[in-house]
C-alpha cells in the first residue's frame, strides 16, 4: 500500500497552494529540486568546468536512465528544452512530397498546430483536420475515426498521445500501425505521456515522439526530448547552427565527449546554456519508479473518478473526458456552462483561495480542466468542488 501522504511530503509543495495543474507545469519532487539547486551552485561557482568539462558523463547517464524509463535506447533521444522545441525540429526541416497532405485533429495544442500551419504553408501542401469523437465507447472507435480520414495524399499524421483539451488517451499503437501500413509518417505530441502512463517507445511504432518532462514527469522546467525511430534520422535537421553542426558524418551515431552522439549534439547544442534540468532526469525517473508506474496509473484513476463524481453536473459543468478506463488518466475536463466567464472564475479561485486549475481553449469550450497527480489528495478535490458555486457566481456574464 502506498503512503500517499509520504508521497505528497516528498514533493516540493507550497502548503498555501492547492495545485491541480500538473498538466501545465508540475511541482517538482524535493530530491529533484535539491539536485538541481546543488548542480546550479556548482555551475555558478565554476561555469566553464561545469558546462564544458564535467557534464558529459552525467548527461549520458541521465539519458540512459530516461531511455530505460520509456522503453528505448539512449541513442534514440534528442534532448530538448520542451515539446515545442522538439516539434519545431520536425516542422522546420521535414520535407513533404509535392501533392501530399498533413492530417491532424481538432484537439491539438494550438501553438503546435500553428507550427504545422507554417510548415504546410511554406511547402504549399494542405493541413487537413479530422474531428475526433468526444465520447468514444472504445479505443477502436477512435482508431477507426482517424483511419477513415486517411487519403492517398496523407503522408504525415500529427496527433497528440493524450489530448490537452479533454485528457483522452489515444490508442496510439493501433493508430501508428495503421498509418505505417499506408506509408504515413507519424509525429506524436506526447506532452502528457511520460509520468502519466507507462511508455514503451520502441514498441509504440511512432516515427517521432516529442514531449516535455516538466508536466507529469515532474522535472524542473527546461527538459523534454524527441524520440526518433531508427531510419528516420535523416528526415530532420537542427533548426539552429552552432558548434554541433559540423562533424564527421561517418561517426554520427558514435558517443561524443559531451554526453551525446555527434548527431544528437547537432540538435542539442544551441550555444551556451544551462542543461541542469536534463541532468536531473535520472533522479526524476527514480522517484517515479519508486512509486511504480502501474501504481501511479491506478492512483490517477482513483482521483479522476472522484473528480468526475464531484464535478459532473455541478453548476452546469459537463464532463468531456471519456469513461473507458484505457481512454482516461490524470486529466479530467468539463465543458463550462454558458453564461459564465471561465477565465474570471479561474482567476477568482486563484486570487481568493490559491487554487490552481486550468481553463483550456477550444471552439466547443472553454474546458474547466483538472490535473490530479500523485501529490494531490481527495480533500483538495472536495474543497474545490465546494468553492465552484461561488467562483461561477462571481464570473456570471
Ligand X SMILES: Cc1ncc(COP(=O)(O)O)c(C=O)c1O
92 in contact with ligand X (CB under 6 A): no
- In angstroms, the Cα distances linking 190 to 146, 152, 197, 262, 283 are 17, 26, 11, 25, 21
Among 112, 125, 156, 223, binds ligand X (CB under 6 A): 112
CB 45, min distance to ligand X, A: 29
CB 327 within 8 A of CB 141: no
332 in contact with ligand X (CB under 6 A): no
User: In this chain, which stretch among 81-89, 280-288, 328-336, 343-351 interacts with ligand X, using CB under 6 A?
Assistant: 81-89
CB 130 within 8 A of CB 140: no
Q: Apex CA 80: angle with CA 366 and CA 51, to 5°?
A: 135
Which CB atom, from 251 or from 343, has the smaller least distance to ligand X?
343
Q: Which residues contact 31 (CB under 8 A, 6 or more apart)?
A: 10, 283, 286, 287
Number of residues that bind ligand X (CB under 6 A): 11
Packing angle between helix 281-291 and helix 56-70, nearest 10 degrees?
Answer: 30
CB 364, min distance to ligand X, A: 17
Among 83, 172, 196, 223, binds ligand X (CB under 6 A): 83
Which CB atom, from 277 or from 322, has the smaller least distance to ligand X?
277
CB 212, min distance to ligand X, A: 4
**Site for ligand X, residues 151 to 210, rule: CB under 6 A:** 160, 164, 189, 191
Residue among 326, 317, 325, 323 nearest 370 (CA)? 317
User: In this chain, which stretch among 59-67, 78-86, 177-185, 257-265 interacts with ligand X, using CB under 6 A?
Assistant: 78-86
CB 397, min distance to ligand X, A: 26
- In angstroms, the Cα distances linking 216 to 174, 179, 192 are 24, 27, 6
Which CB atom, from 88 or from 266, has the smaller least distance to ligand X?
88
CA distance 373 to 86: 24
**Site for ligand X, residues 5 to 64, rule: CB under 6 A:** 24
CB 275, min distance to ligand X, A: 16
Alpha carbon 287 to its chain centroid, in Å, reads 18
Q: How many CB atoms lie within 10 A of CB 371?
A: 29
Which CB atom, from 191 or from 319, has the smaller least distance to ligand X?
191
Which CB atom, from 100 or from 105, has the smaller least distance to ligand X?
105
User: In this chain, which stretch among 79-87, 121-129, 263-271, 295-303 interacts with ligand X, using CB under 6 A?
Assistant: 79-87
User: In this chain, which stretch among 77-85, 231-239, 280-288, 379-387 interacts with ligand X, using CB under 6 A?
Assistant: 77-85
CB 141 within 8 A of CB 322: no
88 in contact with ligand X (CB under 6 A): no
CA distance 163 to 188: 11
333 in contact with ligand X (CB under 6 A): no
CA distance 16 to 365: 29
Residue among 278, 216, 286 nearest 63 (CA)? 278
Among 19, 50, 60, 109, binds ligand X (CB under 6 A): 109
Residue ranges binding ligand X (CB under 6 A): 24, 82-84, 109, 112, 160, 164, 189, 191, 212
Amino acid at each position: 500500500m502506498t503512503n500517499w501522504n509520504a508521497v505528497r511530503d516528498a514533493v516540493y509543495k507550497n502548503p498555501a497552494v492547492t495545485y491541480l495543474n500538473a498538466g501545465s507545469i508540475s511541482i517538482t519532487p524535493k530530491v529533484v529540486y535539491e539536485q538541481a539547486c546543488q548542480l546550479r551552485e556548482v555551475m555558478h561557482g565554476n561555469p566553464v568546468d561545469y558546462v564544458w568539462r564535467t557534464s558529459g558523463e552525467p548527461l549520458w547517464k541521465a539519458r540512459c536512465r530516461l531511455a530505460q524509463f520509456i522503453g528505448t535506447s539512449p541513442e534514440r533521444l534528442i534532448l530538448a528544452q520542451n515539446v515545442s522545441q522538439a516539434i519545431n525540429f520536425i516542422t522546420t526541416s521535414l520535407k513533404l512530397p509535392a501533392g501530399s497532405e498533413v492530417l491532424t485533429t481538432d484537439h491539438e495544442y494550438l501553438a503546435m498546430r500553428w507550427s504545422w500551419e507554417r510548415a504546410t504553408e511554406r511547402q504549399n501542401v494542405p493541413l487537413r483536420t479530422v474531428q475526433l469523437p468526444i465520447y468514444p465507447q472504445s479505443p477502436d472507435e477512435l482508431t477507426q475515426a482517424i483511419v477513415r480520414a486517411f487519403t492517398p495524399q496523407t503522408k504525415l499524421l500529427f496527433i497528440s498521445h493524450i489530448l490537452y483539451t479533454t485528457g483522452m488517451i489515444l490508442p496510439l499503437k493501433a493508430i501508428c500501425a495503421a498509418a505505417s501500413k499506408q506509408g504515413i509518417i507519424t509525429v506524436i505530441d506526447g506532452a502528457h505521456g511520460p509520468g502519466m502512463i507507462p511508455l514503451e517507445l520502441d514498441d509504440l511504432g511512432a516515427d517521432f515522439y516529442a514531449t516535455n518532462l516538466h508536466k507529469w514527469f515532474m522535472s524542473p522546467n527546461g527538459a523534454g526530448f524527441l524520440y526518433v525511430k531508427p531510419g528516420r534520422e535523416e528526415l530532420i535537421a537542427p533548426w539552429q547552427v552552432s558548434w554541433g553542426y559540423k562533424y564527421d558524418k561517418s561517426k554520427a551515431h558514435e558517443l561524443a565527449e559531451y554526453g551525446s552522439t555527434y548527431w544528437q549534439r547537432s540538435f542539442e547544442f544551441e550555444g551556451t546554456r544551462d542543461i541542469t534540468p536534463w541532468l536531473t532526469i535520472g533522479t526524476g525517473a527514480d522517484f517515479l519508479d519508486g512509486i511504480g508506474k502501474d501504481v501511479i496509473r491506478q492512483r490517477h484513476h482513483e482521483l479522476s473518478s472522484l473528480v468526475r463524481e464531484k464535478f459532473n453536473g455541478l453548476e452546469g459543468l459537463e464532463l468531456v473526458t471519456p469513461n473507458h478506463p484505457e481512454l482516461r488518466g490524470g486529466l479530467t475536463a468539463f465543458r463550462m456552462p454558458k453564461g459564465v466567464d471561465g477565465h474570471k472564475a479561474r482567476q477568482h479561485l486563484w486570487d481568493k483561495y490559491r487554487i490552481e486549475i486550468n481553463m483550456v481553449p477550444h471552439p466547443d469550450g472553454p474546458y474547466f480542466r483538472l490535473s490530479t497527480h500523485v501529490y494531490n489528495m481527495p480533500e483538495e478535490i472536495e474543497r474545490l468542488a465546494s468553492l465552484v458555486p461561488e467562483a461561477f457566481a462571481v464570473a456570471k456574464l
